[in-house]
Amino acid sequence: MSRRQQLLDIAGGLFAERGFKNTTVRDIADAAGILSGSLYHHFDSKESIVDELLSTFQRDLFATYDRILAEQPDTAGRIDAIVRASFDAIDQHHNEVAIFQNDAAYLMGFERFAYLREHNRRFRRMWVGLLAEGTASGALRADLDPELTYRFIRDTVWVAVRWYRPGADVAAQTVADQYLAILLQGIAAPKE
């Protein structure tokens, strides 16, 4: 792993744990065993570090979603796979998900991070589309507001990054199983 990548990992861990604003460049340098000035040989600013972490993550995540939607033809399979891929992201890219959840609202205030808004737009469009598909086919109950249901699902999935710890006793896909069990029964059209 390149020195640059090592430093990205170290910074990502600190940003995820304490937040972007609460992590100083001295904290990052200390954790890497160098002095703060040396960091600027690798990155031109603290913002550049978090930018590289978030933009890479956003690109990879939507590539995964696009692949799923291309492979899965039916709505139920799509919802299942998208939720599972999201929990997998919490497991495999924990730092980036945590930073996005905790600091994206703050970072979006800067022109440089305007691209993060595209993340939210795409995610919303995808889910509202999936819910519309399900309602049209009769698989999903029709008495729910699509916008509120989308927010319910979005928040439910991503907020798990607050307590889930990779490599702990509970596996990410076990959490996905349970969440899907509640969610799918909760939004399904009732059997008459």
Binding site for a second copy (CB under 8 A): 18-19, 21-22, 102, 106, 143-145, 148-149, 151-152, 155-156, 159-160, 162-163, 170, 175, 178-179, 181-188, 190-191
Two tokens, residue 40: 């600027």
| Number of residues that this document lists for the chain | 192
Task: Out of 17, 18, 26, 117, point to the residue binding DNA (CB under 7 A).
Answer: 26
Nearer to DNA, 3 or 117 (CB): 3
By C-alpha distance, which of 33, 40, 10 is closest to 23? 10
Choose the contact partner of 77 out of a second copy, DNA, none; CB within 5 to 8 A by kind.
Answer: none
Choose the contact partner of 86 out of DNA, a second copy, none; CB within 5 to 8 A by kind.
Answer: none
Nearer to a second copy, 2 or 185 (CB): 185
Two tokens, residue 162: 């607050």
Q: Does 144 bind DNA (CB under 7 A)?
A: no
Contact 140, 127 (CB under 8 A): no
Least CB distance from residue 48 to DNA, whole Å? 8
Q: Residue 102: CB partners within 8 Å, gap ≥ 6?
A: 16, 19, 20
Choose the contact partner of 155 out of a second copy, DNA, none; CB within 5 to 8 A by kind.
Answer: a second copy
In this structure, which long-range contacts are made by residues 42-49, counting pairs with CB atoms below 8 Å and at least 24 apart in sequence? Answer: 42/3, 42/4, 42/7, 43/7, 46/20, 47/110, 47/112, 49/7, 49/8, 49/11, 49/15
Choose the contact partner of 143 out of a second copy, DNA, none; CB within 5 to 8 A by kind.
Answer: a second copy
Choose the contact partner of 185 out of DNA, a second copy, none; CB within 5 to 8 A by kind.
Answer: a second copy
Residues 38-97 that bind DNA (CB under 7 A): 38, 40-42, 44-47
Which residues of this protein are in contact with DNA, per CB under 7 A?
Answer: 3, 23-26, 29, 33-38, 40-42, 44-47
